[in-house]
Chains A and B, each alone.
Chain A
């Protein structure tokens, strides 16, 4: 078990290093000069050179990478070219907002998805099962950015019940909930569909096993059988939940842009259009690190629940 945990931890290191290479390389794929784009038009060639040297853009790429990596490892993501603020501050604030949104939408998707999936499995082939299946297909097929716009049209423009954009400025729970409601629903649609499907199939797999028949045969109440099924399908469900949470965090770019939610996606979008390379790198690197660690945590948690996994 501990050998497995150790090996899994060690395997995360090359993945993270690989991810950092991709993030670094990504930026150098970009056409155009990031420095020239933000310098005032009247600045001289010498001034541009000086700024380039200040940001380290004049050195060979492998050196730039190592210097960058060393600073990143110390938590220094550089300064934004556009605002001159340390990137880590911008990313931190944005990450907090994105986390809140990812948590709320994951919670909604998990609760509803697990409920629908279990309901489907226990009513296999009935009308309810078919309704849930239809809902799940809609969930995984709908472009969530469009769903966000439809929610705005209905609840903000037509009914005027909820605000169309931004996070709450006023303190208090009610303004907060009113602002986060629509983005939460829009972002929850895809994981809702995925989770419903996975939970249904995981529960059905367990339901068809002999031990469930045995439990039923010995006269165990349906409620107790349900507990057994849930416990046995937990590892599989857990993996999907972990992955989906990660997707929520990294995948919220489009929804954040629709609702002007001040999260990482919004920041990333801004950085892309201002060609603010340090911010672009910072956001992607932080999100990727978060995603890798999350996957790691899910793996380890899974092993804790079902020790058989470590032996494979």
Chain B
């Protein structure tokens, strides 16, 4: 029986390998489909994003309407099954609405950094010479600051508000994306097929558009995806310090900040917004890990 089991698992393994060679993106999709952790993380993320998007329809109460009589109700209270906050506002409604703010504040900077950073990095890597020195040395300066410090310092200087959070976090993430984009571009640029395209008379723009982008954007995308969870933690962290989204808006970091005073009265409700940040950042991390493995990007 034992040797037979071995044969059977070998047959399974063979059967699991696709018969015909697939295109790169189909292979990536196929690998992702077999990765249970990544699928679960993706599913979890979908739920979080949908909950945030549908907050106006899902939230049972107005997120800013409180009740003095029902302050800091414990989870499980009838009508407020995740409890209420220090002003008697429904926690479930605030968490749903807060997710919108946190997701916007966390995702936008990475998106901005992806676009701006790719452009700068590819320009530096492809053009080289003075352009490269100018761009890369400027980016190096931003590496003189630990990311958290840079975000807090810029936000601190600009003052509180969602827009300022987005600006300061974009400044944190752009140099990182530029570095990755530049090194990926330099690597691909040295490959023979680019030289072949150049010899056959293709212009710079055509080479970048037709030959370079497709091979460079993959690694940059994977890198950007690894930064989302940090961006979410930092965005909520800025609000937590009072530098991000301003009250009375619902945002997870801000909720954590105002509920912090209440831990002696109710130990469970103050933990909820942080749990939401944690779950979201973990889902993004697992998803980007899976994406990196499936796309076979090292680093």
Binding site for B on A (CB under 8 A): 14-16, 18-19, 21-23, 26-27, 29-32, 137-138, 140-147, 149-150, 152-153, 157-158, 246-247, 249-251, 253-254, 257-258, 268-269, 271-273, 280, 284, 287-288, 291-292, 295
CA distance A247 to B147 in the complex (A): 8
In the complex, which residue of chain B has the Cβ closest to the Cβ of A17? B141
Q: Contact check: which of B142, B159, B289 meets A22 at CB < 8 Å?
A: B142
Q: Judge whether B270 and A272 touch: CB under 8 Å.
A: no
CB-CB contacts below 8 Å: B230-282 with A: 233, 236-237, 240-243, 253, 256, 260, 263-264, 267, 270-271, 273-275, 277-278, 281-282
Q: Quick one: which of A16, A138, A250, A268 has the most chain B CB within 10 A?
A: A250
Q: Judge whether A253 and B267 touch: CB under 8 Å.
A: no
Q: Quick one: which of A14, A150, A158 has the most chain B CB within 10 A?
A: A150
* B31 CB → nearest A CB, Å: 18
Q: Judge whether A257 and B153 touch: CB under 8 Å.
A: no
CA distance A1 to B242 in the complex (A): 48
Q: Judge whether B158 and A251 touch: CB under 8 Å.
A: no
Tally of contacts, chain A with chain B, CB under 8 A: 139
Q: Judge whether B240 and A145 touch: CB under 8 Å.
A: yes
CA distance A27 to B159 in the complex (A): 11
| 10 further contact pairs, Cβ within 8 A, besides A247-B147, A268-B156 | A18-B144, A19-B141, A19-B145, A21-B141, A22-B145, A251-B148, A254-B148, A280-B153, A287-B149, A291-B144
Q: Contact check: which of B140, B158, B236, B243 meets A143 at CB < 8 Å?
A: B236
Assign chain B's interface to a size class.
Answer: 35 or more
Q: Judge whether B145 and A247 touch: CB under 8 Å.
A: no
7 nearest interchain CB pairs? A146-B274, A250-B146, A18-B141, A272-B156, A250-B149, A251-B148, A141-B282
CA distance A247 to B281 in the complex (A): 19
Q: B150-179 vs A: 1/0 string, CB under 8 Å?
A: 001110111100000000000000000000
B138 at the binding interface (Cβ < 8 Å): yes
Which B residues touch A14, using CB under 8 A?
137, 141
CB-CB contacts below 8 Å: B61-117 with A: none
Which B residues touch A249, using CB under 8 A?
146
Q: Judge whether A291 and B229 touch: CB under 8 Å.
A: no
* A206 CB → nearest B CB, Å: 16
Q: Quick one: which of B149, B253, B260 has the most chain A CB within 10 A?
A: B149
Q: Judge whether A247 and B146 touch: CB under 8 Å.
A: yes
Which B residues touch A253, using CB under 8 A?
148-149, 152, 241
Which B residues touch A251, using CB under 8 A?
146-149
Which B residues touch A32, using CB under 8 A?
159
